[in-house]
Homo-oligomer: A and B are copies of this chain.
Amino acid sequence: MSGPPVRAALLAVGDELLSGTTLDTNSAELARELARLGIPVTSIEVVSDDEPEVEAAVRRALERAELVLVSGGLGPTLDDVTRHGIARAFERELVESSAALDDVRAWFDRRGIAMSATNRRQALFPQGAEIVKNRAGTAPGFRLERGGRVVVALPGPPRELRVVWSEEVLPWLVASGRTLGPLAERHFHLFGLSESVFAERAGDWMERGADPRLGCTVKDGVLSATLRAVEPSARSRAALEARAAEFRRRFGEHVYSEDEARLEHVLGRLLIERELAVTTAESCTGGLVAALLTAVPGISAVFREGFVTYADQAKAQSLDVPRELLEAHGAVSREVAEAMARGALQRAGAELALAVTGIAGPAGGSAEKPVGLVWFATSLRGVLESSERRFPPVDREAIRLLAARTALFLGWKRLRAG
């Protein structure tokens, strides 16, 4: 069936969500997916594993939105009452689906496990419901419609929800004509730009009525921006492409990827592709740069060794940093950062070395060298570059993470330039 664009209400069912032991990440994920389709979310509600509560919440949600997505409470135990609550809200009986029962049984058979009697519950559905297959688990979902309004019940485990959403619900939603989308999007991942500077430079691109719409989120120094066409028209799409080109001109020096948010993966893949041996020389980050880089599958082709030289003695002994430099300039200085990069490059027989030395705090700062001061050096085939950053002295972990990512970004910049 087809109709006008809809609004959505989200409902998450589970005592563990109400007690705060588990965070409701499903609703945020569904909200982002719906935004891509041009469907606004009017409310998110979390309710307990209680049949009348679920019933009442479904009724409320149906008053506010044409599309209600319910996650959780589809398991095999007596606690799982989502199907019962929705049936009551629709005043329908629960009936057993032999097809669904076969699916549940087949799931257990494939794994060589005996199906327990309680799992039979998972083949119960409100009369008239369309079953939504769940390839990732035992709990099938379902859809139930009345008067153009529809409730979709999805499994609670995030991995299952994701599979059921993308394989079953999304295609149905698009085919049903209830959405504008999927709307065309362009993503950009930037480093080295604060949210406020970004907003200032983006200017009226961020206004509410703009087409394309521009949104951004910031995490650990990475700013991820999304441009999204407001409608699926050719005009909106052309405006998106034009804005994307302008975005690249305006922010290009900060954009390290248009598809991969993880800076270490962008740098790591580039190193692997160019067969460029890399090494790390770390003081305040204490191994974080190496740990990030080695998160990249296949990195062993280019990463052989990293150095965590926390004490001056380690810098001298393992990286050949001259003791005179350490004494004259202190460990947190351009001179020592450069000597660390030089020493690591040589010791590891690498072509690119990333060096970091700074003051992560809370102790160790001074007026001249405050907490948050970090020196960086990179050596690309022996050619050194160095620079300092002064991170806000909020907390030790924030400084270390920002410093580690800055080292990766500086390495990426050198490769791009070279």
**With A and B bound together, what is the CA distance between A362 and B297 in angstroms?**
7
A290-B287, A295-B286, A396-B297 known; A28+B35 contact, CB < 8 A: no
Give the complex CA separation of A314 and B280 in angstroms.
Answer: 13
Q: Which of A18-50 contact B (CB under 8 A)?
A: 18-25, 27-35, 40-48
Q: Which of A27, A35, A310 has the most CB of B within 10 A?
A: A310
**B45→A46 contact, CB < 8 A:** yes
Contact residues in B for A24 (Cβ distance below 8 Å)? 24, 28, 44
Q: Is the CB of A295 within 8 A of B44?
A: no
Say yes or no for A246: interface residue by CB 8 A criterion.
no
Evaluate contact between A303 and B294: CB separation under 8 angstroms.
no
User: Would B42 and A44 count as touching, CB distance under 8 A?
Assistant: no
Please determine whether A43 and B32 come into contact, CB atoms closer than 8 angstroms. Answer: no
Flag if A18 contacts B43 (CB, 8 Å): yes
Contact with B along A269-290 (1 / 0, CB 8 A): 0000000000010101111111
A192, CB-defined interface residue at 8 Å: no
From B21, B30, B42, B310, give the contact of A48 (CB < 8 A): B42
A311/B318 contact (C-beta < 8 A), A19-B32, A23-B23, A46-B44 known: no
CB distance from A278 to the nearest CB of B (A): 11
Residues on the B chain within 8 Å of A285, using CB: 291, 294
Interchain CB contact under 8 A, A305 and B295? no
Residue of B nearest to A286 (CB): B294
The yes or no answer to A214 lying at the interface (CB within 8 A) is no
Contact A23 B21 (CB under 8 A): no
Say yes or no: is A308 at the interface (Cβ < 8 Å to chain B).
yes
> Contact between A298 and B18 (Cβ–Cβ < 8 Å)?
no
Q: A276 CB to closest chain B CB, in angstroms?
A: 15
- Residues on the B chain within 8 Å of A29, using CB: 20
The yes or no answer to A215 lying at the interface (CB within 8 A) is yes
User: A309 an interface residue at 8 Å Cβ cutoff?
Assistant: yes
Q: Is the CB of A291 within 8 A of B286?
A: yes
Given A31-B20, A32-B20, A363-B298, check contact A288 B286 (CB 8 Å). Answer: no
Complex: A84 Cα to B53 Cα, angstroms: 28
Interchain CA distance A294-B308 in the complex, whole Å: 10
A300 contacts B308, C-beta separation under 8 Å: no
What is the bound-complex CA distance between A37 and B27, given in angstroms? 27
Q: Which residues of B contact A326 (CB under 8 A)?
A: none
CA distance A30 to B19 in the complex (A): 9
A116 at the interface (CB under 8 A from B): no
Q: Which residues from chain A sit less than 8 Å from chain B, CB to CB?
A: 17-25, 27-35, 40-48, 53, 57, 60, 215, 217, 280, 282, 284-291, 293-295, 297-300, 303-311, 313-314, 317-318, 347-348, 361-364, 396-397, 400
17 further contact pairs, Cβ within 8 A, besides A21-B32, A305-B314: A18-B40, A20-B27, A20-B34, A21-B217, A42-B53, A43-B53, A44-B45, A45-B46, A280-B287, A285-B291, A287-B287, A287-B306, A288-B291, A291-B291, A294-B310, A295-B397, A303-B310
10 tightest A-B contacts by CB?
A286-B294, A20-B31, A287-B290, A287-B287, A306-B308, A305-B314, A304-B311, A20-B32, A44-B46, A287-B291
